[in-house]
Amino acid sequence: MDKTIKPQEKATILIVNDEPIILKLIGDVLAKEGHEIYTADRGDNALKIINDVSIDILVTDIKMPEMDGVQFINEAKKIAPEILVIVITGFPEIDSAINLLKINVYDYIVKPMDPDDVMASVNRAWDRQRQNYENKQLIQDLKSANDLLQQREGRFRSLTENTSDWIWELDVNGVFTYSNPKAYDILGYRQEVIIGKTPFDFMSADEAQRVAGFFRETAQSGKPFSFFENTNVHKDGRHIIIETSGVPFLDKDGNLLGYRGVNRNITDRKQAEIERKQLNERLRESRESRESFQAIVNKNPGGIIIVNKKGIIKFVNPAAELLFRKKADELIGSMFGLPLANGDNEKMELDIITENGKTGTADMRVLETTWLGEPAYLATLFDVTAIKEAEENLIKTNEELINIAQMKTEFISIASHELRTPLTSIKNAVDILLYKKAGELNAKQEQFTAMAAHNIDRLVILLNDLLDTAKLDAGKVKLEFAELDPGYIFQKAVDTFKPQAEAKSQTLEIDYDSLNNIPTIYADYAKIQQVMNNLISNALKFTQEGGKVILSARAISDFGFQSANLKQGEKDSAIRNPQSAIEISVTDNGSGLSMDDQKMIFDKFYQAGHTLDQKSKGSGLGLNISRGLVKAHGGKLLVESEPGKGCRFFFTLPGFSPEDIEMSVLEIEISKLANHPPFSLLCLNLKGIGPLSKHAKGLKIHRQFLAQLKDVAAGVIRQDSDRIIMQKHFGRLIIILPGTAKAGAMIVRNKLKTAFYENPVFFDEQAGQVFSISMPVTFPEDGQIVKKLLKKLQTYQE
């Protein structure tokens, strides 16, 4: 039994002896020392006492009345193993002293004993015992401390080993001196690998640099840090984001020994953050998008209505509310009441009541759509009341303008007529006088009559010019296109102006070389002659005596074709296929024109400053008219000049011919079909009759004939898509059969032959067939280029 071991000042001593005198003697001596004394005269009593009391020292005689001394000591030691025994023994019992040594007696005293010896022995024993006790206490304390330490270490270990965080310790150089096993879970490296390396060894180069720098700074400051994020590389190459916190630890002098801390794997958290941000972003975008669309729908000035297939209104936007003058909750759920199923996006008109209670119109377009998963109609409405009004006004205004233009033309026409009539009489009267048909005239009479005659001529020119200008302005110049030979025009002009030129010793000549390689042009002969006359007249007027005027022409390729005064279809094809063109020039070596003059010379009534001949001053409209006439042909009239170096007036004329136009139209038609093969062509050639131009006389008959042919042919060909193109100038009909291959085309050909046999068409009462039907030409079989196909058609004549 573990009695409480207490370090005391005085011992508790048990003296055992069967002689009471000795008991007393020893007792007194020891009591004087201050010890606590117990006595017993028998072994069993002594044992009892030892049992009850905590005895430090046992002083006992070896001889006991009722038991063996050794046995007694053994028993005592059993009860109190710590007890120190001093034995009193007589000489003769020395042998048994050896036994006593065996039982570990502290000391023995031989009788007769000296009480001082007893006292000394007890004191020694007590010192010894006290030491024992102290040692024991120390050991026990140590044991407790150790136990506590173990306990704590156990607690600590189970925490660090089992935590989900990576716990580490670094020295001042950043080398791992401790790492818990969690490093393996986080980075894939075992503790043994970690320890001895630095954290930077597990990072990419850039990151290592950054983090090492951070550690250096922190270590210098000796401060703790928390939640420092850094990216490490897992053994398998993955990037792991770690959140690190650490605190410094110091030695007893306050020097930094290193840092200890915790690493937490926040890769997932970071990922989750990113994903959360993305999700939020997407939600936000989706919401914004939805809001934007809502805004569009709500702010749309046009009414938007959704009606389901049963005709019930499901949705209206604010604009629609306005149009129907009802609120959304009134409209939604009610019948729309108007037909909607008229096909996709067809436009319909609705009558509505506008703000001020008047009736108006709205445009409605209906589309099929879905609404909340079900098929429905989307109707967009737009209040077009104002637009319609404006349209009607515009039409009215337009009509008025046309009226005014018409009136203007009529006015000019009437005015010019009214002016001409008296002018004619004046001229006639003056001419009678001037030509002396009413008698002789003296010199003065003749002079002044001549003056009158001259001015009448001027007036006539002015009148004609004014009328021309008005017609050009009104776009009412109709051109009669015909084949034109520039050489012929030049010659006529020279003939006209030769006398005038000779009067001033001027040379008016034609550059014949320039006429060699120019294409045929098509223009209105009278108008072009007018232009030439105007230019030549100007040239002669503005050139000095003995000067020179040259007429020349040249072919040009790009002449910037403007819109010509042609029928619509012809115009388009001409633009698409600008053939050749020519440029006609009237060049003089007169005084030239200044830049200012050049700019304004084509303006109405503008006269260049230095008319050489006051008498021959014109109306100032000539060039304006010439420019307008050239423009009507689709060309341009321009001037090139330097003061002192003469002038060159030049104009362009397009080189297309009616044949060209007809061919272009045909080519365009055929080109359209190239995307939908196959197709075939047949040609009805008017043999012996030839092109239209050779039949000026029988124009009408020729046209009638072709028209009749076309009628018969139309009766034969089957489909709406088949086309018959009349080429008057080639004297033929081209039949286009889309989607038809050679065999089909042959059938059509045979049908045509039969039809013409049954319905003969005569040209100018000539009996017999005057035309032939070619063999069919098929695309792509007979060729892939339109021009080649047409050429083949020519050769496929019977």
Question: CA-based Rg of the chain, rounded to a whole angstrom?
Answer: 67
State the nearest-atom distance from the C-beta of 699 to other proteins, in Å: 12
CA distance 303 to 297: 9
Beta strand 57-61 with 84-89 is parallel
Q: Which residues pair with 360 in a beta bridge?
A: 352
Closer of 615 and 700 to other proteins (Cβ)? 700
Write the CA distances from 518 to 197, 437, 441, 540, 563, integer angstroms.
Answer: 96, 50, 53, 26, 22
Closer of 175 and 419 to other proteins (Cβ)? 419
State the nearest-atom distance from the C-beta of 418 to other proteins, in Å: 8
Distance of CA 651 to the CA centre of its chain: 49
Closer of 51 and 406 to other proteins (Cβ)? 406
DSSP state of 91: G
Dig out the tokens for 306 from the structure: 């959704």
CA distance 393 to 401: 12
Do 320 and 307 form a contact (C-beta atoms < 8 A)? Answer: no
CA distance 760 to 567: 33
Residue ranges in 508-547 that form contacts with other proteins under rule CB under 8 A: none
Closer of 120 and 438 to other proteins (Cβ)? 438
Dig out the tokens for 166 from the structure: 């990576």
State the nearest-atom distance from the C-beta of 479 to other proteins, in Å: 9
Which of 503, 504, 507, 509 lies closest to 491 in space, CA to CA?
A: 509
Closer of 79 and 462 to other proteins (Cβ)? 462
- The binder of other proteins chosen from 478, 498, 687, 718 (CB under 8 A): 478
User: 35: part of which helix (H) or strand (E)?
Assistant: none
Closer of 193 and 423 to other proteins (Cβ)? 423
Query: SS3 for 671?
Result: helix
Contact call for residue 460 and other proteins (CB under 8 A)? yes
Dig out the tokens for 99 from the structure: 């036994």
Closer of 470 and 515 to other proteins (Cβ)? 470
The region of 30-38, 89-97, 335-343, 459-467 touching other proteins under the rule CB under 8 A is 459-467
- The binder of other proteins chosen from 149, 353, 394, 438 (CB under 8 A): 438
Contact call for residue 191 and other proteins (CB under 8 A)? no
Question: Looking up tokens 């050794």, which residue turns up?
Answer: 70
Do 140 and 4 form a contact (C-beta atoms < 8 A)? Answer: no
Instruction: Find all residues with CB under 8 Å of 523, minimum gap 6, and list them.
Output: 479, 481, 482, 484, 633, 653
State the nearest-atom distance from the C-beta of 569 to other proteins, in Å: 22
In degrees and rounded to multiples of 5, residue 38 shows phi and psi of -125, 145
State the nearest-atom distance from the C-beta of 432 to other proteins, in Å: 6
State the nearest-atom distance from the C-beta of 419 to other proteins, in Å: 8
DSSP state of 237: S
One-letter amino acid of 178: Y
Per-residue buried b or exposed e for 125-152, using 16+ beta carbons within 10 Å of the residue's own CB: bbeebeeebeeeeeeeeeeeeeeeeeee
State the nearest-atom distance from the C-beta of 476 to other proteins, in Å: 8
Q: Which residues pair with 261 in a beta bridge?
A: 168, 246
Closer of 45 and 413 to other proteins (Cβ)? 413
Instruction: Find all residues with CB under 8 Å of 538, minimum gap 6, and list them.
Output: 618, 622, 623, 649
State the nearest-atom distance from the C-beta of 604 to other proteins, in Å: 20
Closer of 440 and 798 to other proteins (Cβ)? 440
Closer of 387 and 438 to other proteins (Cβ)? 438
State the nearest-atom distance from the C-beta of 618 to other proteins, in Å: 17
Closer of 78 and 476 to other proteins (Cβ)? 476
Do 506 and 543 form a contact (C-beta atoms < 8 A)? Answer: yes
Closer of 331 and 523 to other proteins (Cβ)? 523
CA distance 369 to 678: 39
State the nearest-atom distance from the C-beta of 451 to other proteins, in Å: 17
Do 723 and 736 form a contact (C-beta atoms < 8 A)? Answer: yes
Closer of 524 and 588 to other proteins (Cβ)? 524
Q: How many CB atoms lie within 10 A of CB 336?
A: 20
State the nearest-atom distance from the C-beta of 428 to other proteins, in Å: 3
Q: At what angle do helices 69-79 and 43-52 cross, to 10 degrees?
A: 10
Alpha helices in 67-225 (DSSP H): 69-79, 94-102, 115-162, 182-187, 191-194, 205-221
Interface map 396-435 toward other proteins (x if CB under 8 A): -----------------x--xxx-xxxxxx-xxx-xx--x
Residue ranges in 99-128 that form contacts with other proteins under rule CB under 8 A: none
Do 584 and 578 form a contact (C-beta atoms < 8 A)? Answer: no
Closer of 416 and 533 to other proteins (Cβ)? 416
Interface map 480-509 toward other proteins (x if CB under 8 A): x-----------------------------
Closer of 425 and 754 to other proteins (Cβ)? 425
State the nearest-atom distance from the C-beta of 665 to other proteins, in Å: 25
Closer of 163 and 533 to other proteins (Cβ)? 533
State the nearest-atom distance from the C-beta of 506 to other proteins, in Å: 25
State the nearest-atom distance from the C-beta of 510 to other proteins, in Å: 27
Alpha helices in 325-442 (DSSP H): 328-331, 385-434
CA distance 647 to 661: 35
State the nearest-atom distance from the C-beta of 708 to other proteins, in Å: 23
State the nearest-atom distance from the C-beta of 797 to other proteins, in Å: 37
State the nearest-atom distance from the C-beta of 628 to other proteins, in Å: 15
Closer of 2 and 480 to other proteins (Cβ)? 480
Binding residues for other proteins, rule CB under 8 A, total: 24
Do 50 and 26 form a contact (C-beta atoms < 8 A)? Answer: no
CA distance 148 to 723: 114
User: 189: part of which helix (H) or strand (E)?
Assistant: none
Contacting residues toward other proteins, per CB under 8 A: 413, 416-418, 420-425, 427-429, 431-432, 435, 437-438, 456, 460, 464, 467, 478, 480
